[in-house]
Amino acid sequence: MARLLEILKRNTMLIVLIFVMIMFEILIRAHTNGFGSLFRPTNVTNLVNQNGYVVILTCGMLLCILTGGNIDLSIGSIVALVGAIAGVLMVNWKLDIHLSSLLCLLIGLGLGAWQAFWIAYVKIPPFIVTLAGMLAFRGFAWLILGGLTISAFPAEFSRYFNSFLPGGGGGPGQSYAFTLAAAVLIGAALAALQIAARIKKIGKGYEVEPLWETLLRAAFGCFAIVAAGHLLGRDKGVPVILILLAAVVLVYNFFTTNTVPGRQLYAMGGNEKAARLSGVDTDRLMFFAYANMGFLSAVAALICVARFDTANPSAGLNYELDAIGACFIGGASAYGGVGTIFGCVIGAIFMGVLNNGMSLLGMGADWQRAVKGLVLLAAVVFDVLSQRRKRLG
């Protein structure tokens, strides 16, 4: 029982997310006389498409926050600038889309590295460097586009990000079967992996968690994936962007939890001096975190450009705030050293559901902002208070 309580406590945000989803579902159904639903297949697809960029940016932002509560304010402007460059390369210069995409990613990495250099090696506070970046990069985006927008990207490029699997003909029945089958396969594979890891542990004689805990986690994961597959299948199938998101999340989760530099990142945020005296190259980690943020911003830029089919100098406005909010709602510590990729992804989904749910309820942008602000504060207050109780206990 105590164990169950601890599991619930560890996954508070997930539970709150489920609760909020149910709450929205009830409200939306009441509001639309039973016609609307948060879980309508088209709406689920919309949720994924609308929030993809936040998830990507959140992964990068978490690394910055882990170094010691540092944030990156420039990412919205990097999204705009890289988007602008993509427009010039692909539409104006008609360069090959693969080459253009690669160039855009490199430019994003370069912008990130530029800021990372000042932060990590010259020791300028990240807040100031990225504030400067936020202003300057936005300015460059306006300069490049001359204050106008570039639209009509090559169809081939848009297709990469906006299409669905299985795609092609075959009709809705076939699409549903494919999506559901894929979801079942992935869910089963994940469950099998967990159980295999458990068996391996037992084989080596290590301590393991209770069996029901493993099964519960596997079952919940399976359920979520199959439910998502079911809903997506009834719409258009698996959005390609979802596969990209999953890949990014898995790679970054692996990096933070299973690699030496990932571990060192947490150590650095926990106690920088102790980390340095333990042989951790904190400067290099700081450089990595911010250079990486630039790279992921470029990824997000390509997604946004493809989604809107437009390069716009005012694109990406306030994206940094979405990412920062998602991290803190997802349980990252404002002092660094604490936070997980999955937690922050849940934070990002939470923000997305909040936006989407309020839109479906027909709330105006004014109220949406107010609610989001209060929710962010509530999440962090809740986190701080529960941490305090943990320390006393």
Partner 1 sequence: MGGTILEMRGITKTFPGVKALDGVSLRVEDGEIHAIVGENGAGKSTLMKVLAGEYPHGSYEGEIFFAGGECRFSGMKDSERLGIVIIHQELALVPNLSIAENLFLGNERGSYFRLDWDRTFRETAKYLRMVGLAESPHMLIKDIGVGKQQLVEIAKALAKRARLLILDEPTASLNDNDSQKLLDLLKELKRGGMTSILISHKLTEISQIADHITVIRDGAAIETLARNVDDFGEPRIIKGMVGREMTDRFPGRESRPGGIGLEVRGWTVHHPLYPERKVCDNLSLHVRRGEVVGLSGLMGAGRTELAMSIFGRSYGAGISGRLFLNGREVALRGVRDAIANKLAYVTEDRKGCGLLLSSEIRPNTTLANLGRISSRRGVLDKDREIQLAKIYADLLSVKRSSLEQLAGNLSGGNQQKLLLAKWMFAEPDVLILDEPTRGIDVGAKYEIYTIINRLVADRKTVLMISSELPEILGMCDRVYVMGEGRIVGEFTRSEASQEAIMASILKSRPAEGPPAVPIAKGA
Residues at the interface with partner 1 (CB under 8 A): 200-201, 204, 206-207, 257-264, 266-267, 270-271, 273-281, 333, 337-338, 391-393
**H or E element in which residue 199 lies:** helix 171-204
Backbone angles phi, psi at 150, to 5 degrees: -110, 130
Q: Contacts from 138-142 at CB under 8 Å and sequence distance 24+?
A: 138/76, 138/77, 138/80, 138/81, 138/313, 140/81, 140/84, 141/77, 141/80, 141/81, 141/83, 141/84, 141/313, 141/315, 142/313
Shortest approach of partner 1 to residue 104 CB, angstroms?
28
The nearest distance, CB 266 to partner 1, in angstroms, is 7
Contact 51, 352 (CB under 8 A): yes
Nearer to partner 1, 138 or 198 (CB): 198
Smallest distance from the beta carbon of 365 to partner 1, in angstroms? 38
Q: How far is the CB of 112 from partner 1 (least distance, A)?
A: 22
Beta bridge partners of 238: 165
- Closer residue to partner 1, CB minimum distance, 34 or 393: 393
Q: How far is CA 246 from CA 59, 175, 242, 330, in A?
A: 11, 20, 6, 17
| 65's tokens | 């926050």
At its nearest, how many Å lie between partner 1 and the CB of residue 347?
20
Burial of 309 (0-12, 13-18, 19+ CB in 10 A): middle
* Nearer to partner 1 (CB atom), residue 166 or residue 270: 270
Q: Minimal distance in Å, beta carbon 335 to partner 1?
A: 8
Residue 190: Cβ-neighbour burial (10 angstroms; 0-12, 13-18, 19+): middle
The DSSP code for 91 is: I
Nearer to partner 1, 169 or 279 (CB): 279
Give whichever of 151 and 257 is closer to partner 1, judged by the CB atom: 257
The minimum distance between CB 209 and partner 1, in angstroms, equals 12
Q: In angstroms, what CA-CA distances link 281 with 5, 83, 265?
A: 38, 33, 10
> For partner 1, which is the closer residue by CB, 90 or 289?
289
- In the bound state with partner 1, the residue whose beta carbon lies nearer, of 123 and 204, is 204
| β-pairing verdict for 310-311 and 238-239 | unpaired
Per this entry, what is the length of the chain? 393
Q: How far is the CB of 308 from partner 1 (least distance, A)?
A: 39
Q: How far is the CB of 252 from partner 1 (least distance, A)?
A: 14
If you write DSSP's letter for every residue of 145-171 in order, what string do you get? HTT--EE---HHHHHHHH-EES-SSSH
> Which residue lies nearer to partner 1 by CB, 275 or 349?
275
Nearer to partner 1, 151 or 278 (CB): 278
